[in-house]
Structure 1
Amino acid sequence: MKKTLILSSALALAAMAPAAMAANADGSAGYIRAEIGQSDVDVDTGVGSASESDTSATFGGGYWFNPNFAVEGHVGTLYNEYLGNDQELDLVSFGAGVAAKKNFGPAHTGFFIGGRVGITRLTAQVREDNFDVIDDEHSTKAYFGVSAGYDFNRNFGVSLNFDRRQADFRGVDVDVDTIALGGEYRF
């Protein structure tokens, strides 16, 4: 079921790609986004809990149907830790969802607030330095986020974003809160 959902989302985004190539006066446009920030990862094993922070980086894109509503997808790394013996632990996010935004300036520019919600697949994987994956676990759950930012013109804006992602890896609950600075280019 999870693979079907992810495949369906990817096919829907691919089907919209030709329409995303032309920005229109009505505010519809394709876009790409990059975000870099800090993730706070809380782990609860049922016996105890721990929290750590790390740098996060996500990349995404989608299509604004109008200035206020979009579909989007993202992929990124939320956490990385060196475990020793040439092994690393990575927490990777892959997701698809919808976004909404309200601009307070003329012609879809100026300050804005926004939100997003969707489904994300978090993968915790242990890999060796030569990128061989030794072990991995997946969890698919809903995510949500809010943002505030400034659109300099119809094509470019920056934002401060907060996102919440959760996972359950064999009874271990993981909550990831990310605060990131993002840049979005619309075409």
Structure 2
Amino acid sequence: MNKSVLLASALVLAGLSSSAAAAEGWYVRGEAGTTTLEIDGSEGDDDTFSARGGYFFTPNVAVEGFYTNYGDDSGDGVSIKASGYGVGVVGKKNFGPDAHTGFFISGRVGAVHIETKLGVEGVGNAKDTSTEGYAGVGVGYDFTNNFGLSLNYDYAKTDIFDVDAKLKTATLGIEYRF
């Protein structure tokens, strides 16, 4: 996937959002947790955070855009830092008395553009980018029609300097719906 596909997806998202202004509504969410970066059998983990926002067209379907800082890891003179932004579709099923209350399960899929910076002591720095698919699941509780908390797990497989890498992210999320 390339940048033009990501841009086209963002434009579709913007068009759908403005044409469905009377539907369910906007939301913002913040997530914080840990990302494990696995490269060629080696693993490292660090704190991560994500800022997300989107629009629920129905109580069960939303589109969202996001930025995630996957963190950085270093050791033996090598440092790696990863971040990404993307767009996706969210599915959510609440088990409470209202459309947005009670326990829920959720899933999300989409595309993420990942930027990876690599530093090698005494050699220098390099940057690589990749646009890949991602998938995630979550469980949580919506306390009101506007406010909820969740535990989330996201997975993305990417290519860093022609080496396969996996980003496995576990977060606690807080969401506010307008």
Q: TM-score range by the shorter chain?
A: 0.7 to 0.9
Q: Secondary structure at the match of 2:57?
A: strand
Computed over aligned residues only, the root mean square deviation of the Cα atoms, in angstroms, reads 2.3
1:175 to 143, 166, 178: 166
CA distance in 2, matches of 1:2, 1:107: 40
Q: Structure 1 runs of 4+ off > 4 angstroms?
A: 16-22, 82-85
- Counterparts in 2 of 1:72-91, with a 5 A limit? 72-81=64-73, 89-91=80-82
The AA in structure 2 aligned to 1:32 is V
2:58 to 53, 66, 78: 66
2:26 alignment counterpart: 30
CA distance in 1, matches of 2:63, 2:155: 18
CA deviation string 1:62-99 (max 9, x = no partner): 110011001111111112136799x9632001111101
1:103 alignment counterpart: 94
1:130 alignment counterpart: none
1:121 alignment counterpart: 113
Matched residues, percent identical? 41
1:161 to 146, 152, 155: 152
The TM-score normalised by the length of structure 2 is 0.87
| Maintained 8 Å contact 2:37/2:44 | yes
The TM-score normalised by the length of structure 1 is 0.83
CA distance in 2, matches of 1:184, 1:20: 21
The AA in structure 2 aligned to 1:35 is E
Q: CA deviation at 1:21?
A: 6.8
Q: CA deviation at 1:166?
A: 1.2
Structure 2 segments unaligned to the other structure (5+ residues): 120-124
Q: Identify if the C-alpha distance between structure 1 residues 173 and 37 changes in structure 2 by more than 3 Å, giving closer, same or farther.
A: same
Q: Secondary structure at the match of 1:66?
A: coil
| Maintained 8 Å contact 1:20/1:30 | no
